[in-house]
Chains A and B, each alone.
Chain A
Amino acid sequence: MSAYQARFKVWRGDRSGGGLEDFTVEVNDGEVVLDIIHRLQATQASDLAVRWNCKAGKCGSCSAEINGRPRLMCMTRMSVFTRDETITVTPLRAFPVVRDLVTDVSFNYEKAREIPSFVPPPGVAAGEYRMQQMDVERSQEFRKCIECFLCQDTCHVVRDHEENKEAFAGPRFLMRIAELDMHPLDSASGTGLDRRTTAQDEHGLGYCNITKCCTEVCPEGIKITDNALIPMKERAADRKYDPLVWLGNKIRRREG
């Protein structure tokens, strides 16, 4: 392996317009796409805007679309491309663009605020929490989320239908509801909050048609669809579409 010149197309512009700009840039052994973007910054386009932080796939800042696929730039190795391939890098296409590769991801922060927080169990002091490993593992999987928002970006519900952003929390935050609903000590039900019905009624779980793109793009390998979204749909069905379960719950208030 040795250094070579790669052809890149990088989207540059802002909300008033822009387009793909061509670059030819050096690539060395072992580099990732983010390295190349940094080299462009240092040598050819000092004002090329890009978000990044940890450069190790842990913070979820450098989300972009590479050859049309939502990915983390720091985790996309150049060796997955052939040397004569032109590599196209664009900002996330589901969110408003700010400049170059930087998009306005405030949609996600607004949705995060709409999900009711963890409700601590009343009467259990700090230090007295007891939970079994097998009971926390499901929620722990979801807490691996680095909030890169690639799932939010790829989800066609909002990517292709801006008007659904109002009603739909997106995979990341539906997964957050699942995380809390599966938390062994969350006491939301004690405050009259039913996370299962509100997932469907207030956060748009029904918009999800389980086409699994969120799972496909997740850089943490979280099984968003199988482990969070579908179980939430089933839990909502318990509440809303299953008269047997509904009746059972009426008769004896059961805690699973």
Chain B
Amino acid sequence: MIESAEVKDRIREYVLEEFAKTKGIMQITDQEVLTKNGIIDSMGIFRLVSFLEETFNVRIGDQEITHDNLESVDAIERLVIAKSKK
């Protein structure tokens, strides 16, 4: 069973390193809306989903790739935890 805090740390680190920092954004909060200021673009969404699937060994369906599920580090963590319990 993955610890919630660990999940969140890894998601935050990935988003920060992969998307935010290259765009000049040096820190993000867990509530920050990642889609709002272009932190993640349309191709980035699918890179993020691949990362989640590989790292946490979960399967995320196309219909689950929604704003509600992926809008922030908090939301992504909730999705991963819910998926890994199934």
Q: Do A and B come from one complex?
A: no
Binding site for A on B (CB under 8 A): none
Which A residues contact B (CB, under 8 angstroms)?
none
